[in-house]
């Protein structure tokens, strides 16, 4: 792999994703990992990420110079660039000049290898206080910026290069070209990481893990479990049984998608448990969000365990498939010591004490790779491109207690919003589009000649990279207008539609 050495900023995952987008496999390791351990992973190259510290701060993470002595190519970014400069005999200075945001880059007379493809005066994304004031001996300086006398350097024959700016972010328009030049021309890495290979590798790995044992998988309706199960099915076919607990809190058409489209696309054996009644009974009269989550989590586990016991009695299950993704592995420490930056509220997930061994075929993959896999495996588009959806489903999008009538009202409003978003071709421009029913609020309206006293519905379209932060999506007003008109026309109980224009933080994506 290309090892992305994480210096503690949020950028490491983005770098790892960009490397994969260049068709090269990458993994993230913490900067605290001993170099010998990194080398034991046979890296084809290192990329040193940005980080929040100044190299001068007490306790600032440094690079062990041994990392550069193993003959493995290395690319430094921002903090990683400065740490690299220092480790190799260059100088880093407190310039007193902070540079933040889009910055014009002045290319040197010699652009070297990595900046070769750039247009004159490209804009790059900067975020730094310190700056490299002298490149290490033997390095060519290929660019500067107003706040960084040395904004890029390289020693291609030694496999080394670095940049002060962030090539991995979208705000550096030519960033991906720069990463590619490093990977292909300096590190001489072959671009062999693609969907075909991922599938072949995983299928082989699953077969060797599972042998002829029987395997169980819980489908949620989401893309992760669907792709995980499809991969396992491709590997071991009939040894897989899936269970789908229909808790009655899904959106319009989603249960059918799992029960029909998915099964016909994959041929997977599916046991459907219709548990709507049970969930609604347990939720009756409950309006506190955390109570709702607890009840749904508890009921889900009970229902799933019962179903698992039934399948087990028939075929003796040894393995359970989980759709764990790489960001979860990295963020929960991943056994590599990375700081835990996210606490998961995986409500609607499975207990960790089930007596099965785990199969996690997506453990090394990012979401976009999972989607590409899903398409390659022939899954329905609606499932592959489904927006993230919380385990507790529509129950946490009804503000107030949950019952079937309210669910049906919300389902229609939500369906309209999704239809119009799709019709406008905007599905992939928003991260999520919760539609929330304020079931305990009423407002006065007028429809036809009559006064109405109905409920408001909130539209909450958001843009995000990872759900940790988000901004409200600036959807075109005519799309919002169309959704509003249709909802108030087609859903009798709703007489008002409002748009949530709060970012996260301070708001969360969901209302509960
Ligand atoms: P918030 O509302 O915290 O949501 O900004 C962040 C992301 O998590 C999803 N979410 C949940 N997912 N169980 C889940 O499986 C939950 O209880 C839950 N609550 C929120 C939310 O949809 C968003 O993608």
- Work out which ligand 1 atom sits closest to the CA atom of 391: 15
CATH class in words for 195-384: alpha beta
How many whole angstroms from 155 Cα to the centroid of ligand 1? Answer: 46
Whether residue 509 has its Cβ less than 6 Å from ligand 1: yes
- What would the pLDDT profile of 250-290 be if each residue is shown by its tens digit? 999 999 999 999 999 999 999 999 999 999 999 999 999 99
Under a CB-based contact definition with an 8 Å cutoff, are residues 307 and 219 in contact? no
Does 221 appear as a known binding residue?
yes
Q: Binding site annotation covers 430?
A: no
DSSP E strand stretches across 55-145: 74-77, 91-104, 106-107, 123-134, 140-145
Q: Ligand 1 pocket test: which of 509, 511, 512 has the largest number of ligand atoms within 8 Å of its C-beta? A: 509
Q: Is the reported ipTM for this assembly greater than 0.95? A: yes
Same CATH fold, 398-499 and 195-384? no
Please give the Cα distance from 294 to 347 (Å, whole number): 8
Q: What is the pLDDT of residue 346?
A: 53
Check the annotation: does 223 bind a ligand: yes
Angstrom distance (rounded) from CA 241 to CA 227: 14
Question: Which residue, by CA, sits nearest to atom 8 of ligand 1?
Answer: 390
Does 92 belong to an annotated binding site? no
Per-domain residue ranges of the chain:
2-186, 195-384, 398-499
Q: Which residues of the chain are under the pLDDT cut of 50? A: 335-345
Query: What pLDDT is attached to residue 334?
Result: 53
From the CB of 390, is ligand 1 less than 6 Å away?
yes
Q: Which helix (H) or strand (E) holds 472?
A: strand 471-472
Atom 20, ligand 1: residue with shortest CA distance: 390
pLDDT of residue 333: 63
Assigned CATH for 398-499 = 3.30.300.10
Does residue 508 line the site of ligand 1, with CB under 6 A?
yes
User: What are the counts of helices (DSSP H) followed by strands (DSSP E) for the chain?
Assistant: 16, 21
Say if domain 2-186 classifies as CATH 3.30.300.30.
no
State which ligand 1 atom lies nearest to the alpha carbon of 434: 22
Q: Give pLDDT, residue 348.
A: 56
What are the pLDDT digits (tens) for 22-53?
999 999 999 999 999 999 999 999 999 998 77
Q: Is the CB of 460 under 6 A from ligand 1?
A: no
Composition of the chain by helix, strand, coil, percent to 5: 35, 25, 40
The residues assigned a catalytic role are: 78, 166, 168
């Amino acid at each position: 792999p290309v090892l992305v050495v994480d210096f503690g900023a949020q950028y490491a995952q983005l770098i790892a994703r960009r490397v994969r987008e260049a068709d090269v496999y990458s993994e993230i390791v913490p900067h605290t990992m001993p170099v010998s351990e990194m080398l034991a992973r046979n890296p084809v190259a290192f990329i040193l990420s940005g980080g929040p510290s100044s190299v001068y701060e007490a306790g600032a993470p440094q690079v062990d110079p041994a990392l550069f002595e193993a003959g493995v190519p290395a690319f430094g970014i921002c903090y990683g660039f400065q740490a690299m400069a220092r480790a190799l005999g260059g100088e880093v200075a407190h310039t007193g000049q902070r540079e933040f945001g889009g910055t014009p880059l002045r290319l040197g007379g010699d652009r070297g290898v990595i900046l070769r493809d750039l247009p004159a005066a490209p804009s790059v994304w900067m975020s730094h206080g310190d700056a490299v004031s002298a490149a290490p001996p033997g390095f060519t300086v290929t660019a500067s910026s107003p706040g960084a006398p040395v904004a890029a350097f390289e020693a291609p024959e030694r496999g080394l290069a670095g940049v002060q700016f962030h090539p991995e972010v979208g705000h550096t328009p030519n960033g991906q070209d720069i990463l590619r030049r490093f990977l292909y021309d300096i590190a001489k890495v072959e671009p062999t990481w693609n969907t075909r290979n991922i599938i072949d590798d995983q299928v082989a790995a699953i077969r060797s893990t599972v042998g002829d044992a029987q395997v169980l998988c819980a489908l949620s309706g989401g893309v992760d479990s669907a792709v995980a199960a499809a991969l396992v099915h491709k590997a071991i076919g009939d040894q897989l049984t899936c269970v789908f607990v229909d808790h009655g809190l899904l959106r319009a058409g989603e249960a059918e998608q799992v029960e029909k489209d998915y099964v016909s696309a994959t041929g997977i054996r599916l046991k459907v448990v219709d548990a709507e009644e049970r969930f609604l009974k347990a939720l009756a009269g409950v309006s506190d969000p955390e109570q709702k989550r607890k009840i749904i989590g508890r009921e889900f586990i009970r229902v799933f365990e019962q179903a698992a016991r039934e399948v087990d009695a028939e075929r003796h299950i040894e393995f359970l498939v989980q759709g764990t993704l790489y960001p979860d592995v990295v963020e929960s420490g991943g056994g590599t010591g990375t700081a835990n930056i996210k606490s998961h509220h995986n409500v609607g997930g499975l207990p960790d004490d089930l007596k099965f061994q785990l199969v996690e075929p997506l453990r090394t993959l990012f979401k976009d790779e999972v989607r590409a896999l899903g398409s390659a495996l022939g899954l329905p588009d609606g499932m592959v491109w489904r927006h993230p959806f919380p385990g507790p489903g529509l129950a946490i999008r009804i503000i107030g207690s949950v019952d079937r009538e309210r669910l049906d009202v919300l389902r229609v409003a939500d369906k309209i919003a999704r239809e119009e978003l799709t019709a406008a071709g905007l599905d992939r421009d928003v991260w999520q589009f919760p539609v929330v029913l304020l079931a305990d609020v009423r407002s006065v309206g007028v429809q036809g000649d009559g006064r109405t006293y109905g409920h408001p519905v909130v539209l909450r379209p958001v843009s995000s990279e990872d759900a940790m932060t988000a901004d409200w999506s600036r959807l075109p007003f005519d799309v919002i207008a169309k959704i509003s008109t249709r909802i108030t026309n087609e859903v009798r109980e709703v007489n008002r539609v409002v748009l949530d224009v709060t970012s996260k933080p301070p708001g969360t994506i969901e209302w509960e």
